[in-house]
Every structure is written in structure tokens, then in C-alpha cells.
Amino acid sequence: MLLPGDDARAAARLAELDPPFTLSEARRALGTTRRTAVPLLEHLDARGYTTRVDDLRRRCREPGGKP
């Protein structure tokens, strides 16, 4: 469960990573487990904060991670 604004904060943290980033890099940056990171990244994809580059990597849509 995410609190209001948690998705934007997570996206902002991911925007600090060198694009494109992997699930493992995102997991470490967010300090969470793979079990939590997978659905979070899928949520960020659906909300437009991130986009998949290929099967392994994603990037934030704009600087700052905003959709």
C-alpha cells in the first residue's frame, strides 16, 4: 500500500539513477525488496512516471520523474 505522494517520491528517487536502470538498481535505491519493487515499478509504469526500455530496464519519463 502506498501513501499519498509515495509514488512521486519513489519516482524522484529513481530519476537520480543513471538511465536506463534495472529492477535491481531501483530496488537498492529505494531500499526495498524485489517482492515490493516489482509491483511498485509496474505502478510507476502505469502512472506514467517510468517507461520500459526493454525487458530489463526502465527510465523516468522526464527529469524529476514526473509524468
Q: Enter the pTM of the model.
A: 0.85
Domains and CATH numbers, the chain: 6-65 (1.10.10.10)
CB neighbours (10 Å) of residue 21? 23
Q: What is the pLDDT of residues 17-56, one digit of tens each?
A: 999 999 999 999 999 999 999 999 999 999 999 999 999 9
Cβ neighbours of residue 28 under 8 Å, at least 6 residues apart?
A: none
Q: What is the pLDDT of residues 50-67, one digit of tens each?
A: 999 999 999 998 654 444
Q: How do strand 50-52 and strand 21-22 relate by DSSP bridges? A: unpaired
